[in-house]
Amino acid sequence: MRSIFILMSALIMLAICGPMFAPHDPTQINIPNRLSPPSAEWLLGTDALGRDILSRLLHGARWSLGLAFFISIIGLCIGTIAGLLAALGGRFVDWVVMRTTDTFLAFPDLVAAVVIAGVLGAGTGSLIFALTVTGWMRYARVARGIGLSLQTRGYVMQAQLVGLSPLSIARWHYLPSLLPSLTVVWTGMFARAILGISALGFLGFGVQPPMPEWGTMLLDARIHMRSTPLQMIWPGLAVVTCVLATT
């Protein structure tokens, strides 16, 4: 638990502070220096428009990691509420919530996100909505399972007997028990959100140019993959490293 907290804090700090260490303006076009190899001035080289790749990676962390954190937190809140409603709301509410959850789980996350983003149109708002809609179900199933197991615990039954409201019981007795398991699920969903953001960006549905984001950097570099493969390697390594670090 402690190592997860330290790792996630490091990634969040990268998203917040990374742009402060960027040596150049990530959106500044410099055609004479386009496709430059790594050098003392351009540590990771430049892209097809002469923009510094290192600066774009550091600024892109704010979008890729920041959006992933935001999306996974929203999914955590929605899924936890849905799972507790299923556990505490009775058979009918449980049936409705879980059938809804199963319906969403029947579709692959990325495919559903691409369809939603395609219908809504390219943009950051569409990306957030698409990945949030397809990312809350696992939290709900975990919260429901733990919530059902807690209903027979003595302290929960005693709280019900003394007249505590379901909201108070959920707040003081269910949430502390849910937190460790949901934290583990959240780290995995954070990694999936990074992949989803990068995938939608690569398909043109994510953060729009000229703002740097790792998926859009891969999209811009695909044309020059054979001549200057480093353009794709650097953002690809950033995505892979962050995903592996949180799984």
pLDDT tens-digit readout, 78-119:
999 999 888 888 889 999 999 999 988 888 888 888 888 888
Give the type of residue at 6. I
pLDDT of amino acid 149:
84
Asked if 60 contacts 212 with a C-beta cutoff of 8 angstroms, the reply is: yes
What would the mean pLDDT of 135-156 be, rounded to a whole number?
85
Query: What is the spatial distance between Cα 74 and Cα 207, in angstroms, rounded to a whole number?
Result: 19
Query: What is the spatial distance between Cα 42 and Cα 55, in angstroms, rounded to a whole number?
Result: 9
Kindly report the CA angle at 138 between 135 and 139, in degrees rounded to 5? 95
Does 27 map to a domain? no
The rounded percent of the chain whose pLDDT value lies above 70 is 96
Nearest Cα neighbor of 51 from 240, 211, 207 is 211
pLDDT tens-digit readout, 178-188:
888 888 899 88
pLDDT of amino acid 2:
62
Secondary structure in 3-state letters for 48-89: CCCCEHHHHHHHHHHHHHHHHHHHHHHHHHHHHHHHHHHHHC
- Residue 1 in this model has a pLDDT that exceeds 60: no
Nearest Cα neighbor of 91 from 14, 148, 17, 160 is 148
pLDDT of amino acid 75:
93
pLDDT of amino acid 70:
92
Does 33 map to a domain? no
For residue 123, CA distances in Å to 127, 131, 238 come to: 6, 12, 22
Tokens of 211: 């703002």
pLDDT tens-digit readout, 5-42:
677 677 777 777 878 888 888 888 888 888 888 888 88
- The pTM for the full model equals 0.87
pLDDT of amino acid 97:
92
CATH code: domain of residue 12? 1.10.3720.10
**Mean pLDDT, the chain, as a whole number?**
85
Query: What is the spatial distance between Cα 216 and Cα 81, in angstroms, rounded to a whole number?
Result: 33
pLDDT of amino acid 209:
80
Does 28 map to a domain? no
Instruction: Report how many domains make up the chain.
Output: 1
- Residue 170 in this model has a pLDDT that exceeds 60: yes
pLDDT of amino acid 43:
86
pLDDT of amino acid 96:
92
What would the mean pLDDT of 45-66 be, rounded to a whole number?
88
* Residue 3 banded pLDDT, cuts 50, 70, 90: low
Does 36 map to a domain? no
CA 61 vs. chain centroid, Å, equals: 12
Tokens of 190: 């954070």
Does 232 map to a domain? yes
- Residue 142 in this model has a pLDDT that exceeds 70: yes
Does 78 map to a domain? yes
**Residue 36: other Cβ atoms inside 10 A:** 18
Tokens 């892209």, residue? 47
Range of the domain at 197: 2-21+44-245
Does 34 map to a domain? no
- Residue 223 in this model has a pLDDT that exceeds 70: yes
Does 38 map to a domain? no
